[in-house]
Chains A and B, each alone.
Chain A
Amino acid sequence: MSREFIAQHQRARIIGALALEVSEKGYRAVTVADIVRRAGIARNTFYENFSSKENCFLAAQQFAMSTALARVVEAAGESDEWPRQVEAGLGAFLGYVAEEPALARTCMVDALAAAPSSVRYYEESLQAFVSLFRLGRDVSPRGQELPETLEEALIGGVFWILYQRLLGAEPIQIGDLLPELVEFALSPYLGAEAARAVALEGEGGSPAPTSRA
C-alpha cells in the first residue's frame, strides 16, 4: 500500500471518529483524546494529520460537502430536464445524509455551534448549490422576474428542514421528505401544480399531466 493511500484512509478514519464523537457529545465537549480513542490511533497520528480539533472539524466539513456535491452533480447529470435534475440531486443529497447520519449531524447541526470558521464554511458551502438551482431560471416562464435571492432562500429553507429532522433522534425518512422538498424547490420556477407532478413522479406516482393550467 502506498504512503498516500494509508494517509488518505487515516484522515478518513479520524474524520469518521470525530463525527461520531461530536454527534454524541457536541463539539465543545469533545477532546482530541476522545477522537484518538474512537479512531484507535496514537495521539501523534492525529497531530500528523491535523493541527487541532477545530482544524479536524473543518476537514470533516470539507470532506462531507465535497462528497455530497459530487453525488448531487452525478445524480443530476443523469437527466436532461432541469426539474428531474433537481429531483435526482436532492434525492442524492438526502441519500447521503441518511447514509452518514453522524457526519450529517456534525456538518449541519454541530457546525453551527462549533466555531466561527465552521459556520462561515457552512454558509459558503450552501452557495455551491445555488448554481444548480439557478439553471431553473432558464426553464421558468417567470425566469426574468424571480427575486435575485431566491436560490439562496430555497437552499436555506431546504437545509433548515434537514437540520430540524437531524435534531430529532429518528433517522431521516427520505420517502416522506424528498417529495416535499422537491415541491418546495421547484414551485417558484414551475408553479405549484407542475412542481407537485415532478415530486410525485419521482416517487413512481402518477405521471405528469399533459395539459398545464
Chain B
Amino acid sequence: MSEPVNPSVDPREYPPELARLPPGRHGLPREFVAHNQRERLIAGLAEAVAENGYAGTTIAHITRHAAVSRRTFYEHFNSKDECFVAAYDTVMAQLRERVDKAFKAEEEWPQAARAGIAAMLEFLAAEPHLARLSMVEALVAGPVVIERYDAAIQDLVPYFEAGRKGRSAEVLAGLSPSTEEALVGGMVSLISRRIFADRTAELESLLPDLVEFALTPYLGSTAAAQVARQG
C-alpha cells in the first residue's frame, strides 16, 4: 500500500516535529502519507538550506532531514530546484496570510499599511532561516523561483496603491505610475540587506523608517511621521 519511510534512519534521530509518521508500513491512506511526506521534504529542505546554503545542499541532505527515502523524494519532486519552489511557496503563503490579515484588521489605510509592514517584519525577524530562504537563497535557486520572488514583491503594490483613494488632486499629481513600485522596491531593499547580513534582529526596528518612507507620498511628511511613531 504505502511506501515505508527510509528504514535505515533511526527514528530516535527524527526531529520531534517530523516524527509524527512512524516508519514501516502503516496502512494509512496514500494521499495522507504523500501529503505528509511532501511537508516533511519541504521542512527538510528548509533545514538543509539553512545549514548548507542552497548550492551546498544535496538531495541526501534533504532526505536525511526529512527522514524519508531518496525514492520518496523523487515521487514528489524531480529536482532540488523543484523542491525549493515548493518550500518557497509554502513560506510565502504563510507570510502573505499574516500581512493580509494585519492589513485588513485596520479600518484606516495609514494604520493598515503600518500593520502590514509590521507583520512582515515580525515574521521575518521571528523566522530568520525562513527569511534567508525566501530572500537570500531564493535568488540562486533558479529562474522559476526568481520569477516568483519578483512577483511576490510586485504583489505588495496594491497595499500602497490603496493609499491613493480619497487624496487631493495636488497629492495625486505628486505621484507617478511607478511610485508604488519604487516604494516597495525600496522597502524590500532595506529588509533584504539586513537579512543578507544576518541582522534579522534589527528588522523590527526598521518599522518607523519604513512607514514614514512609504506613507509620505500620500499623507505628507508630518502626518506620515506621526503614523510611523504610533505605538
A interface, by DSSP: helix, strand, loop or mixed? helix
Which one of A15-23, A90-98, A184-192 is at the interface?
A184-192
Contact A158 B196 (CB under 8 A): no
B85 to chain A, nearest CB (A): 14
Q: Say yes or no: is B181 at the interface (Cβ < 8 Å to chain A).
A: yes
Interface size class of B (residues with CB under 8 A): 35 or more
Partner of A149, one of B142, B182, B190, B221: B190
Among residues of A, the one whose C-beta sits closest to the C-beta of B174 is A192
B121 to chain A, nearest CB (A): 13
Inter-chain pairs besides A156-B185, A180-B176, 12 sampled, C-beta below 8 Å? A28-B142, A112-B139, A116-B136, A152-B186, A153-B187, A153-B210, A153-B213, A156-B190, A157-B182, A161-B178, A184-B178, A192-B174
Q: Given A114-B140, A115-B140, A157-B185: A187 and B208 within 8 A (CB)?
A: no
Contact A188 B189 (CB under 8 A): no
Partner of B188, one of A120, A156, A167, A195: A156
Contact A156 B140 (CB under 8 A): no
Partner of B176, one of A123, A155, A167, A183: A183
B interface, by DSSP: helix, strand, loop or mixed? helix
Q: Say yes or no: is A145 at the interface (Cβ < 8 Å to chain B).
A: yes
Tell me the B residues contacting A by CB distance below 8 Å. Answer: 53, 136, 139-140, 142-143, 146, 150, 153-154, 170-171, 173-174, 176-179, 181-190, 192-193, 196, 206, 208-210, 212-213, 216-217, 221, 225, 228
Among residues of B, the one whose C-beta sits closest to the C-beta of A26 is B143
The interface residues of chain A lying within 8 Å CB-to-CB of B192 are 123
The interface residues of chain A lying within 8 Å CB-to-CB of B142 are 28
Tell me the A residues contacting B by CB distance below 8 Å. Answer: 26, 28, 112-116, 119-120, 123, 126, 142, 145, 147-150, 152-161, 163-164, 167, 180-181, 183-184, 187-188, 192-193, 195-196
Contact B189 A196 (CB under 8 A): no
Contact A153 B186 (CB under 8 A): yes
Among residues of A, the one whose C-beta sits closest to the C-beta of B213 is A153
The interface residues of chain B lying within 8 Å CB-to-CB of A181 are 182
Q: Which of A115, A153, A155, A184 has the most CB atoms of chain B within a 10 A radius of its CB?
A: A153
Q: Given A156-B190, A192-B174: A120 and B150 within 8 A (CB)?
A: no
B196 to chain A, nearest CB (A): 6
Contact B217 A192 (CB under 8 A): yes
Contact A167 B189 (CB under 8 A): no
Contact B213 A150 (CB under 8 A): yes
Contact B139 A113 (CB under 8 A): yes
Contact A161 B182 (CB under 8 A): yes
- C-alpha spacing A28/B79, complex, angstroms: 16
The interface residues of chain A lying within 8 Å CB-to-CB of B176 are 180, 183-184
- C-alpha spacing A92/B176, complex, angstroms: 21
- C-alpha spacing A71/B200, complex, angstroms: 35
Among residues of B, the one whose C-beta sits closest to the C-beta of A142 is B221
Contact A147 B208 (CB under 8 A): yes
